[in-house]
A = this chain, B = another copy of it.
Amino acid sequence: MAEPLYLGIDLGGTKIATAVVSRGGEILAQARGPTPARHGVHAVVRAMAALATEAVNEAALDLRSLAGVGLGAPGPIDAEAGLVVSPPNLPGWRNVDLAELLGEMLHTRLVLGNDANLAALAEHRFGAGRGCSPLVYLTVSTGIGGAILLDGKLLSGVRGTAGEVGHMVLLPQGPLCGCGNRGCLEALASGTAIARQARESVRRGVPSALAERFASQPELVTAASVAEAARGGDLEALIILRTAMDHLGRGVANLVSLLNPERVVIGGGLASLGPDLLEPVTAAVHRLANPVAASSVSILLAELGPDAGVLGAAAAAM
C-alpha cells in the first residue's frame, strides 16, 4: 500500500497556500496564490479550490486518493459549528461555513481549524515542539495568538477559544488594544504595538534613526523598520523593542507558571528577531516564573516558518 498523503490548505488574509504532505511532514507538492479578498467569499473559495487542485495535480495524484484534507483559516472560528466567524483581515466574512463550501467544490470532507492552532499542531508534529507536552505555542506578528497542546491535542476549552494568550491583561491602564481593553499582551508586544510605540516616539520628536527616516511620515514606521534601526544600534529603537520583548517575557512567564510546559515555541513574523526576542523572553521567565517550572522549560523559536500553516492543516487531517 502507498504511504497515506494529505492535503493542507492555508487561507490567509493576503495569501492562500496549499500543499500535499506526507505523514512525516514532507511537502511533496505545493501551490500558492493571492487571496482575492475584495471579491467576496465565493471568489476566495474558487481560488482555494484551484490551488488545491494544482498542488494535487503537481503531485500526480487525484483528490480521492488522499487520506485527508485539512483547512486553516484566520480565527475566530466557531469550532462547534465549523464556521469562520468574522476574521478581521477578511472583511465581509460572517459565519462562513468554509469547510462545507470548499468541500462541495472539491467533493471531499475537510477538517477546519484556526491558523494559530494549526501552526501549533505543525510545530508539535514536525517542528520545534516535536513530541512535547504541555506545549505552549505563541505566534507574534501583527497580533498575538497562541495554542496549548497536551499530549499533542489542542486544549480547546468549552467553546473552542482556549489559547487566547494575546489578550491576557498584563498592564492595567496600559495602551488600548484592538479588543477594547487596555494593556493586553497584544497591545504591548505585537508588531502593531511596536510600530505604534515607534510612531509616537517619532511624533514626539525623540531623536533617533527612526525620527530621521520617518520625520515627515511617521505613519509609515513598521515593526520591521524598528528592528532594522535597532540592529543598526539606534538607542530609541532598541528601547522600544526591548520594552516590547520584556512584556512578551512577562506573558510567557505567566504561562510557564500556570501550565508548567515542557516547551514554549514562538513563531510568527517577529520570530525573525531571533536572539533579540529569545534572550529577553528567556530572562523574564527565569526572573518571574515558578523556579521549578522555569528550570524545566525550554523556549525556542518556531522551525517551520511560513510552511507551518499548510503542514498544520495537513496534520489536523491525519
**Which B residues are in CB contact (< 8 Å) with A172?**
170-171, 250
Q: Is A206 an interface residue (CB 8 A)?
A: no
Q: Is A164 an interface residue (CB 8 A)?
A: yes
Q: Is A259 an interface residue (CB 8 A)?
A: yes
Q: Establish whether residues A258 and B296, one from each chain, have CB atoms under 8 Å apart when the complex forms.
A: no
CA distance A163 to B258 in the complex (A): 5
Q: Is A169 an interface residue (CB 8 A)?
A: yes
CB interface residues, A 171-210, toward B, < 8 Å: 171-172, 179, 181
Given contacts A150-B155, A167-B290, are A161 and B76 in contact (CB under 8 A)?
A: no
Q: Is A156 an interface residue (CB 8 A)?
A: yes
Closest Cβ of chain B: how far from A150's Cβ, in Å? 7
A164's contact among B163, B164, B170, B290, by CB below 8 Å, is which? B290
CA distance A164 to B296 in the complex (A): 15
Q: Is A36 an interface residue (CB 8 A)?
A: no
A interface residues, how many (CB within 8 angstroms): 42
Q: What does DSSP make chain A's interface, helix, strand, loop or mixed?
A: loop
CA distance A182 to B198 in the complex (A): 28
CA distance A250 to B156 in the complex (A): 21
Q: Is A260 an interface residue (CB 8 A)?
A: yes
Q: Is A133 an interface residue (CB 8 A)?
A: yes
Top 5 nearest A-B pairs (CB, nearest first) are: A157-B260, A162-B260, A158-B262, A164-B257, A161-B260
Closest to A246 in B: B172
Closest Cβ of chain B: how far from A135's Cβ, in Å? 10
Closest Cβ of chain B: how far from A79's Cβ, in Å? 10
**Which B residues are in CB contact (< 8 Å) with A296?**
158-159
**Which of A76, A160, A258 has most B Cβ within 10 Å?**
A258
Q: Establish whether residues A158 and B181, one from each chain, have CB atoms under 8 Å apart when the complex forms.
A: no
Q: Establish whether residues B159 and A134, one from each chain, have CB atoms under 8 Å apart when the complex forms.
A: no
Q: How many copies does the complex hold?
A: 2
Q: Establish whether residues B254 and A157, one from each chain, have CB atoms under 8 Å apart when the complex forms.
A: no
Q: Establish whether residues B260 and A169, one from each chain, have CB atoms under 8 Å apart when the complex forms.
A: no
Q: Is A105 an interface residue (CB 8 A)?
A: no
**Which of A155, A255, A261 has most B Cβ within 10 Å?**
A155
CB interface residues, A 238-270, toward B, < 8 Å: 250, 253-255, 257-262
CA distance A222 to B193 in the complex (A): 42
Closest to A168 in B: B254
CA distance A199 to B172 in the complex (A): 24
**Which B residues are in CB contact (< 8 Å) with A221?**
none
Closest to A294 in B: B161
Q: Is A311 an interface residue (CB 8 A)?
A: no
Closest Cβ of chain B: how far from A266's Cβ, in Å? 16
CA distance A287 to B260 in the complex (A): 28
CA distance A155 to B155 in the complex (A): 11
CB interface residues, A 102-161, toward B, < 8 Å: 133-134, 148, 150, 155-161
Q: Is A69 an interface residue (CB 8 A)?
A: no
**Which B residues are in CB contact (< 8 Å) with A133?**
158
